[in-house]
Structure 1
Amino acid sequence: MPLAVAPGLLLLLLASGARGALVVSVPTSPVRAQPGSDLLLGCHFSVGGTMDMELLVVQWKVGDRLVAEFDSTPSYPRAGASLSLEGLRVGNASLLLPRVGGADAGLYTCMVIHSPSRESRQVELRVEAPPRVSVSGTVVRAGKHSPVTCSVSGFYPGSVNVTWLRDKQVLGGSETPPAQLGPDGLYSTTSTLQLVPSISDDDANHSCHVQHVALGEPIQEPFRLSVLSARPSLTLQTVVTPAGLGALQVRVSRYYPPNITVEWLRDRAILHSMESLPTREPDGSFTLRSSYILDRPEPDTRVAFTCHVQHPALPTPLAQSVTWKETDVISQDRTPNKGPEPSPTRVWMWLWLAMVSPLVVVLLCIGYWSFRISMSSIRVWECWPEGSVTALLCEAEGRLRDTDSLTWRSLRPGKELGAGQPGELNTLMPKLEQHHVVTWRRNLGLGRRRLTSVLTIQTPREDDTFICTFQGARGMKQRHITIPGMPAGGPLLDGDMAIF
Structure 2
Amino acid sequence: MPLAVAPGLLLLLLLLASGARGALVVSVPASPVRAQPGSDLLLGCHFSVGGPVDMQALVVQWKLGDRLVAEFDEVLSYPRAGARLFLDELRVGNASLLLPRVGGADAGLYTCFVIHSPSRESQQLELRVEAPPRVSVSGTVVRAGERRNVTCNVSHFYPKSVIVTWLRDKQVVGGPETPHAQLGPDGLYSATSVLQLVPSISLADANYSCQVQHVALGAPIQELFRLSVLSQPRLTLLQPLVTLEGQVILQCLVRGYHPPEITVQWLRDGKPLLTMESSPTKEADGSFALRSSYILDRPESNAQANFACHVQHPALSTPLESTATWTVPTCPRLWIWIWILLVIVLILLALLVWIMYQLLNISMSPIRAWECWPKGGVTVLLCGVEGRLRDTDSLAWSSLRLGKVLGPGQPGELSALKPEQRHVVTWRRRLGLGRQQLMSVLTVQTPCNEETFSCTFRPSTRDVQQRQITIPGVAAGGPPLDGDTSVF
Residue equivalent to 1:103:
105
Offset at 1:386?
A: 4.1
Residue 217 of structure 1 is matched in structure 2 by 219
How many angstroms does 1:409 deviate by? 3.2
- Give the Cα separation in 2 of the matches to 1:387 and 1:89: 93
- Displacement of 1:86 in angstroms is 1.5
Aligned to 1:235: 236
> Structure 1 residues 173, 94: CA separation in 2 closer, same or farther (over 3 Å shift)?
closer
> 3-state DSSP class of the match of 2:423?
coil
Partner of 1:437: 427
Q: In the alignment, is residue 135 of structure 1 matched against residue 137 of structure 2?
A: yes
What does the per-residue CA deviation read over 1:66-90, in whole Å, with 9 as the maximum and x for residues that have no partner?
A: 1000001111111111111111111
Q: Structure 2 vs 1, CA of residues 406 and 391 (structure 1 numbering), >3 Å: closer, same or farther?
A: farther
Deviations 1:159-184 (A, max 9, x none): 11111111111113798641101111
Whether 2:311 is the aligned partner of 1:324: answer no
Could you tell me how far 1:52 is from its partner in structure 2?
1.3
- Tell me the distance in 1 between the aligned counterparts of 2:47 and 2:472: 94
Matched letter for residue 454 of structure 1: M
Residues in 1 aligned to 2:46 and 2:30: alpha-carbon distance in whole angstroms? 13
Over aligned residue pairs, what C-alpha RMSD do you find?
A: 3.7
Structure 1 pair 300–98 and aligned structure 2 pair: CA distance change class (3 A): closer
Do the aligned partners of residues 92 and 174 (structure 1) sit closer, same or farther apart at CA in structure 2, a change above 3 Å counting? closer
Hey, what does 1:200 align to over in structure 2? 202
For the residues of structure 2 that align with 1:34 and 1:476, how far apart are their CA atoms? 91
SS of the aligned residue for 2:299 comes to coil
Partners of 2:453 and 2:102 in 1: CA distance: 80
User: Partner residue of 1:117?
Assistant: 119
Relative to 1, partners in 2 of residues 1:22 and 1:387: Cα closer, same or farther, differing over 3 Å? Answer: closer
Quick one: distance in 1 between partners of 2:302 and 2:34?
Answer: 87
Matches within 5 A, 1:383-462: 384=372, 386=376, 388=378, 390-396=380-386, 407-410=393-396, 417=410, 433=423, 435-437=425-427, 439=429, 441=431, 453-459=438-444
**1:114 CA displacement:** 0.9
Equivalence for 1:273:
275
* Alpha-carbon distance, 1:235 to partner: 1.0
* Equivalent residue, structure 1, for 2:462: 476
Cα contact 1:260–1:311 (8 A) shared by 2: yes
**Secondary structure of 1:433's aligned partner:** strand
Distance 1:214 1:174 in 2: 18
Q: Of 369, 375, 382, which residue of structure 2 is paired with 1:381?
A: 369
Cα distance change of structure 1 residues 219 and 78 upon mapping to structure 2, 3 Å threshold: same
1:80 to 82, 98, 102: 82
Which whole-Å CA distance do the structure 2 matches of 1:370 and 1:179 have between them? 87
Alignment of 1:168-179 (within 5 A): 168-172=170-174, 177-179=179-181
Could you tell me whether the CA contact under 8 Å between 1:175 and 1:192 is conserved in 2? Answer: no
Q: Secondary structure at the match of 2:56?
A: helix
Per the alignment, residue 183 of structure 1 pairs with 185
- Aligned partners of 2:202 and 2:70: how far apart in 1? 63
The corresponding residue for 1:167 is: 169
| Contact persistence 2:56–2:74 (CA under 8 A) | yes
Match of 2:10 in 1: none
**One-letter identity of the residue aligned with 1:375:** S
Q: Give the whole-Å Cα distance in 2 for the aligned partners of 1:479 and 1:387.
A: 29
Matched, 1:251 2:253: yes
- State the AA in 1 paired with 2:168: R
TM-score by length of 1: 0.75
C-alpha change, 1:151 and 1:369, in structure 2 (3 Å) is closer
More displaced 10-residue stretch of structure 1: 96-105 or 431-440: 431-440
Asked if structure 1 preserves the Cα contact closer than 8 Å seen for 2:166 and 2:175, the reply is no
Decide whether aligned partners of structure 1 residues 308 and 175 sit closer, same or farther in structure 2, where only a CA change above 3 A counts.
farther
CA contact (8 A) 1:391 1:454 kept: no
In the TM superposition, residue 370 of structure 1 has moved relative to its aligned partner by 8.5
Contact 2:385 2:437 in 1 (8 A): yes
Counterpart code for 2:314: P
State the identity %.
57
**Distance (Å, rounded) in 2 between the aligned partners of 1:295 and 1:165:** 57
| 2: CA distance, partners of 1:154 / 1:433 | 57
- The count of residues paired between Structure 1 and Structure 2 equals 422
CA drift of 1:479 comes to 2.0
Q: Distance in 2 between matches of 1:175 and 1:493?
A: 69
